[in-house]
With several copies, the nearest count.
Chain A
Amino acid sequence: MTEMVKLTAKDFATDQEVRWCPGCGDYAVLKAVQRTLPEIGVDPSKTVFISGIGCSSRFPYYMETYGFHTIHGRAPTIATGVKLANPELDVWIITGDGDALSIGGNHTMHVLRRNLDCQILLFNNEIYGLTKGQYSPTSRVGTRSPSTPFGSVDRPVSPSAFALGSGARFVARGIDVHKNLPAVLKAAHAHRGASFVEIYQNCIVYNDDVFAPFTAKENAGNQLWLEAGQPMLFASGTKGITLDRERLCLKIVDVIDGDWQGAEVIVHEPHNRGVAHMLVEMPVGQGWPVALGVLYEDPAPTFESAIIEQNRALSEGKPADLQALVSKGQTWEVAKEPREI
């Protein structure tokens, strides 16, 4: 890449045929990423997509960048090695709800708490697509699936709540086919540190329309798109979120004639962690909207920069003298003429 030509989405597509089911939400995310990267202006040869196993984890094969399709749940560990070995690389982790939160939950937590500089795109379809439709840790109670033919009984985990609890410094949400996805991706990329993005992705084969209550056109009013410095409004601005100062929890208020101040609607401050916790835990469905966009952002030092900096500081002025290293400690000389007994 000596001459920097303006790249297009096509330049980020490989010659490999895309192998998802027709109609799968993964296509839309792939398109969005392929469109966004040239807009950000990244160098494909400095970009690495790392995934685990799952339908979504096939993603790297379709990106004309470096890529590693690893093993189930372990993408964050491989990403950590890649980034520590070469912090110049721009690392994207692609994962699913099963990959990131079932088998891989621990690594997801640790990559977030350590704050490795990377983007984590979690394709949440609330199902195991690749293994043919078993319920996942994000599936709702009552999900019927091959492994739960009479309905699942365990309470799901909320990816974004889990990310926050794990110490994430950037938490965002998007929808596979929504036009705002590129903006969310750009924000994630701009954030230094681990950017956690939960993408609601429709699995047309095993969990079709599970997000329709807020993704369907007629339900778009249930989307609360957050923007820094802007009031938390939804339903075309007719409703807003405020804090119930009695019960110390969030509350929905009607906004009359756009007077959101009057309704005491909260202005979104992405660095407010307490509010972020409440936003991700809004009981979606029961009249509550889904919080989308950048829910929380408050940068902190990144893991790899701290490591690199420590290593640099400690090795400054110390030559890598192998002979000196092996000769260290308390040593003794045996004289030229060996003593024989």
Chain B
Amino acid sequence: MATATKFVTSEDHARDVPEAVVVRFAGDSGDGMQLTGSQFTLSTALAGNDLATFPDFPAEIRAPQGTTFGVSAFQINFGSATIDTAGDEPDVLIAMNPAALKTNVDALKLGGLIIVDEGEFGARNFAKAGYEQNPLEDGSLAKWQVVPFNISQLTLDAVKPFGLGNKEALRCKNMWTLGLALWMFDRPRKPVEDWLKAKFAKAPQLAEANIVALNAGHAFGETAEIGSPLKQHHVDPAPAEPGLYRTVTGAEAISLGLVAGAQLAGLPMFFGGYPITPASAILHHLARYKEFGVVTFQAEDEIAAIGAAIGASFAGSLGVTSSSGPGIALKTEAMGLAIMTELPLVIVNSQRGGPSTGLPTKTEQSDLYQAVYGRNGDAPMPVIAARSPADAFDCAIEACRIAVQYMTPVMLLTDGYIANAAEPWKVPDTTTFERFDVAFHDAPLGEGEAVNPYARDDKLKRVWIKPGTAGLMHRIGGIEKNVGTGHIDYDPANHQAMTDIRADKVLGVANSIPPQGLEQGEAGAALAVVGWGSTYGPIAQAVRRARARGLDVAHVHIRHIWPLPTNLGELLRGFGKVIVPEMNNGQLKTLLRDQYLVDCRPLTKVSGQPFKIREIETAIDEALA
């Protein structure tokens, strides 16, 4: 994460003064666990802990109540030291019904704490969850510490004064639970209360009921005479650079970064999108930023979305489009047009589980091939990848910079994990950002001179002439263009020349990016773990732990997927071994082996879930064994 300053090992310490805790809230889709989680996150951030979250919800809007496939979960890892992942194994599981218990308990740390809502533990719900008997009673949870309360009843009792219907009253359960959780970790309730008041501004009675439930949960923790498992923990703030902080999800950060990028380019932004999980949130955020000259357009499909973005770029805006796998696939043909017409364009791909419809709400990194190679013709395009929610902000700006400085479409890869996860973010001082203002070409023609839309600078960038500019009328299109005039040209030598220019221009982007650095460890280490995108967290922690154990391992994390940093080949060749963990079947690995002939070994995971730190640590051990 962005605020890391000092290295402190976590989770491996004794538990008395915990330095990192992993809590997982799980309930029915209708139980509001995502809200509970995000409010808990906010209070955690305000308490100064470092943190990472992992929302994990079903594809269904609302699956039938009580079923295992309807379970929605939210995991948070927070601590007084640097936190890079949402945590391998929860210390605490709060399960609102049997299905939530069933689907989540196996991940729980040995001896971990389970809090369940006893009120939901009845025969009907056992059947729906596929339990033959009451798990609270059959000894099957013996490895863990179980604390059952009747949260449903306690909530109903608490909000009775408001005279809500049964269903509405039970909706406050999540606030009761949050109240208890806030007590457990010694957190103020005020921010949640404020948030509830704002949220239910039009129904102050509901705000009050929820606040009462929240306080009741908190009070229950304070007063209830429960045995040792449930006790209050205080987690100290994590060291952090001074400054203003907020939490940010990847989708938010990308949206903000795009706005910033357009501002730094001095351009209005046009965003063409079509809803798709997990990309939609970017459209939703941007739809609110009208005052930044952002026009959002919900198109009829992904093709129209990118088509409109290309049209907007042609007209002088910064065109942006976004989708996830299936939608990106549909945009393929139009990307070729943007490459051929050399128009700036940012394409955000929020990767999800594939192929096809796949696992829409799960995370994966399996669109790298598509991003780098997935077009007809020799169609080079820069690709960059964000490693975390906060990093997504910088990457979005970088994508905008490359797009306008090289007149090219750029793909920005993120994924379902980054899009939904939240982390603390030190608010940057945007006034210090380097601008990359666009200078449209508008110089009047000289005597006898013809307009040449494919005239280039020494970076091979072509001129950008806005329609509406007096006297510079010209035509562009998807057919091959003459290298000297921009007119249609089918000549063999010309096609070769233009193919080379397109390739060289994109390769040239490497001259504008920093050399590849090391996250941890030294060049020439016995082993390098090379990652990209959202595997950053688990790789960083795993390498940290391995190094703490004295292993000679380095961590290389690649932002610029294409073109790759110019020093990368040399760097990779220097390591004893290289492993490449990816949430796919080995895609970056292909790129690296092709480019550098280095024996990069894939470590793959395609389950829709992020890597666990342990999985990578094990791979490190095996590689160095």
Q: List chain A positions with a Cβ less than 8 A from chain B.
A: 1-2, 14-22, 44-46, 48-50, 53, 55, 60-61, 63-74, 76-86, 88-89, 102-103, 105-107, 109-110, 128-132, 134-135, 137, 146-150, 205, 307, 310-311, 314-315, 318-320, 322-323, 325-341
Contacts and interface: CB of A to CB of B under 8 A. Distances in A.
Nearest to B286: A147
Query: Which 5 A-B pairs give the minimum distances between C-beta atoms?
Result: A81-B311, A77-B307, A69-B477, A81-B308, A67-B475
Contacts of B369: none
Contact of B275 (A45, A147, A311): A147
A327 B304 contact: no
Interface stretch (B41-49, B535-543, B596-604): B41-49
A81 B245 contact: no
Contacts of B319: 81
B479 A311 contact: no
Contacts of A85: 268, 270, 295, 311-313, 315-317
B315 A89 contact: yes
Interface stretch (B62-70, B85-93, B498-506): B62-70
Contacts of B8: 341
Contacts of A109: 300
A102 B297 CA distance: 13
Most-contacted residue by chain A among B468, B476, B479 (CB, 10 A): B468
Contacts of B479: 69
B468 A326 contact: no
Interface string B204-241: 00000000000000000000000000000000111111
A1 B472 CA distance: 11
Contacts of A50: 311
Contacts of B65: 22
Most-contacted residue by chain A among B42, B298, B310, B427 (CB, 10 A): B298
Contacts of A128: 275
B193 interface: no
Contacts, number: 306
Contacts of B515: none
B473 A307 contact: no
Contacts of B300: 102-103, 105-107, 109-110, 137
A310 B65 CA distance: 40
Interface stretch (B100-108, B116-124, B381-389, B428-436): B428-436
A20 B302 CA distance: 26
Nearest to B68: A17
Contacts of B245: 331-334
A81 B305 CA distance: 9
B487 to A, nearest CB: 7
Given A74-B303, A137-B300, A82 B45 contact: no
A137 B299 CA distance: 9
A106 B301 contact: yes
B48 to A, nearest CB: 7
Contact of B191 (A20, A105, A330): A330
Given A327-B427, A332-B45, A65 B473 contact: yes
A334 B241 contact: yes
A82 B314 contact: yes
Contacts of B316: 85-86
Contacts of A69: 475-479
B81 A341 contact: yes
B276 interface: yes
A71 B478 contact: yes
B371 interface: no
B280 interface: yes
Nearest to A44: B473
Interface of B: 5-6, 8, 19, 42, 45-46, 48, 60-65, 67, 69-70, 80-81, 191, 195, 236-247, 256, 259-260, 263, 268, 270, 272-277, 280, 283-284, 287-293, 295-317, 319, 326, 333-334, 336-337, 341, 356-357, 393, 426-431, 450, 466-479, 487-488
Contact of A320 (B42, B293, B466, B469): B293
A318 B290 CA distance: 9
Contacts of B260: 322, 326
Given A81-B272, A332-B245, A336-B242, A147 B311 contact: no
15 contacts: A15-B450, A20-B61, A21-B62, A45-B469, A48-B467, A64-B473, A66-B475, A71-B336, A78-B308, A81-B311, A149-B284, A322-B260, A340-B6, A341-B8, A341-B239
B287 A330 contact: no
Given A81-B270, A85-B312, A329-B246, A66 B297 contact: no
Contact of B256 (A66, A135, A326): A326
A205 B62 contact: yes
A326 B478 contact: no
Nearest to A84: B295
Nearest to B301: A103
B244 A327 contact: yes
B476 A311 contact: no
A341 B309 CA distance: 49
A110 B303 CA distance: 13
B242 A329 contact: no
Given A1-B470, A105-B300, A71 B334 contact: yes
A327 B470 CA distance: 41
A82 B467 contact: yes
Given A69-B479, A314-B290, A79 B311 contact: yes
Most-contacted residue by chain A among B80, B308, B474, B476 (CB, 10 A): B308
Given A71-B333, A85-B312, A205-B61, 11 more contacts: A19-B63, A70-B307, A77-B311, A106-B301, A135-B298, A330-B191, A334-B241, A336-B242, A338-B241, A341-B8, A341-B19
Given A81-B319, A319-B291, A329-B246, A71 B357 contact: yes
Nearest to B79: A341
B46 A332 contact: yes
Contacts of B474: 66-67
A66 B467 contact: yes
Contacts of A55: 61
A146 B240 CA distance: 34
B280 A134 contact: yes
A103 B273 CA distance: 12
A89 B467 contact: yes
A263 B25 CA distance: 66
Contacts of B293: 315, 320
Contact of A147 (B298, B303, B426): B298
Nearest to A14: B475
Given A82-B315, A333-B243, A22 B310 contact: no
B63 A338 contact: no
Given A325-B256, A333-B243, A311 B284 contact: no
B67 A17 contact: yes
Nearest to A329: B246
Nearest to A50: B311
Contacts of B311: 50, 68, 77-83, 85
Contacts of A338: 5, 239-242
